[in-house]
Structure 1
Amino acid sequence: MSQLYDVDAIYRAMGFHCPPFRITPDTSFFFPHSQYLAALGRLRFGASSGGLTVLTGEVGLGKTLLCRYFLRQLAASPEVCTAYIFNPKQSYTELLASLYRDLTGEAPELHAAGALHDALYAQLIRLAEAGKRVIFIVDEAHALEPGLIEGLRLLTNLETENRKLASLMLFGQTELDELLATRQLRALRERITVWHKLRPFGWMETAEYVNHRINRARAEGQFSFTRAALLAVRHYSGGIPRRINILCDRALLAAFAHQKSRVDLPLLRLAARETFGSVQSL
Structure 2
Amino acid sequence: MDVQDNALGSCYAALGFKSLPFAITPDTSLAFPGPQYVSAYQQLYYACMNGVMAVLSAEIGLGKTFVIRCLLRALPANVKVAYLLNPLLDPLALLRDIQAEFNAGEQPALEQASRLHHALVQRVLQGAAQGERFVIIVDEAHRLSAEALETLRLLSNLETEQVKLISLVLVGQPELERTLSMRAMRPLRERIGVWLRLQPMNRAECGAYVRHRIHRTHQDGSFAFTPAALWLLHWRTRGVPRRINLACERAVLLSSAQPETRRVTWPMVWEACGEFSRVWK
| Structure 1 length-normalised TM | 0.91
What residue is the counterpart of 1:273 in the other structure? Answer: 274
Taking the aligned partners of 1:123 and 1:96, their CA distance within structure 2 comes to 12
What residue is the counterpart of 2:91 in the other structure? Answer: 92
- 2:83 pairs with 1:64: no
Question: Larger deviation: 162-171 or 122-131?
Answer: 162-171
Question: For residues 137-156 of structure 1, what are the structure 2 equivalents within 5 Å?
Answer: 137-156=137-156
Query: In structure 2, do the counterparts of structure 1 residues 278 and 70 end up closer, same or farther at CA, with 3 Å as the change threshold?
Result: closer
Question: For residues 1-282 of structure 1, what are the structure 2 equivalents within 5 Å?
Answer: 6-74=7-75, 77-105=76-104, 106-220=106-220, 222-259=222-259, 260-277=261-278
Taking the aligned partners of 2:150 and 2:132, their CA distance within structure 1 comes to 24
Deviations 1:145-167 (A, max 9, x none): 12111110111112234432211
Deviations 1:110-159 (A, max 9, x none): 12212211111110010111122211111111121121111101111122
SS of the equivalent of 1:163 reads coil
> Contact 1:101 / 1:108 at 8 angstroms: preserved in 2?
yes
**Counterpart amino acid of residue 57 in structure 1:** A
> Contact 1:14 / 1:221 at 8 angstroms: preserved in 2?
no
Deviations 1:1-58 (A, max 9, x none): xxxx941222222222222111111111111111111111211222233121011111
C-alpha displacement at 1:258, in angstroms? 4.5
SS of the equivalent of 1:168 reads strand
Runs of 4 or more above 6 Å deviation: none
> Contact 1:250 / 1:275 at 8 angstroms: preserved in 2?
no
Taking the aligned partners of 1:169 and 1:6, their CA distance within structure 2 comes to 37
Question: Larger deviation: 115-124 or 45-54?
Answer: 45-54
Deviations 1:81-132 (A, max 9, x none): 2111111122221211111111111221212212211111110010111122
Taking the aligned partners of 2:19 and 2:143, their CA distance within structure 1 comes to 33
Query: In structure 2, do the counterparts of structure 1 residues 229 and 136 end up closer, same or farther at CA, with 3 Å as the change threshold?
Result: same
Q: Percent identity?
A: 43
SS of the equivalent of 1:19 reads coil
C-alpha displacement at 1:221, in angstroms? 6.2
C-alpha displacement at 1:218, in angstroms? 1.3
CA RMSD of aligned residues (A): 1.9
**Counterpart amino acid of residue 20 in structure 2:** P
SS of the equivalent of 2:163 reads coil
Taking the aligned partners of 1:28 and 1:49, their CA distance within structure 2 comes to 26
Taking the aligned partners of 1:162 and 1:37, their CA distance within structure 2 comes to 28
How many residue pairs get aligned? The number is: 273
Taking the aligned partners of 2:194 and 2:7, their CA distance within structure 1 comes to 46
C-alpha displacement at 1:226, in angstroms? 0.5
**Counterpart amino acid of residue 129 in structure 2:** E
Taking the aligned partners of 2:251 and 2:24, their CA distance within structure 1 comes to 15
Unaligned runs of 5+ residues in structure 1 are none
Taking the aligned partners of 1:249 and 1:52, their CA distance within structure 2 comes to 37
Deviations 1:58-98 (A, max 9, x none): 11010001001101111xx2442211111112222121111
**Counterpart amino acid of residue 111 in structure 2:** H
C-alpha displacement at 1:278, in angstroms? 11
What residue is the counterpart of 2:3 in the other structure? Answer: none
Taking the aligned partners of 1:249 and 1:275, their CA distance within structure 2 comes to 12
Unaligned runs of 5+ residues in structure 2 are 1-5
**Counterpart amino acid of residue 243 in structure 1:** R
> Contact 1:67 / 1:139 at 8 angstroms: preserved in 2?
no
Query: In structure 2, do the counterparts of structure 1 residues 109 and 204 end up closer, same or farther at CA, with 3 Å as the change threshold?
Result: same
Taking the aligned partners of 1:185 and 1:176, their CA distance within structure 2 comes to 11
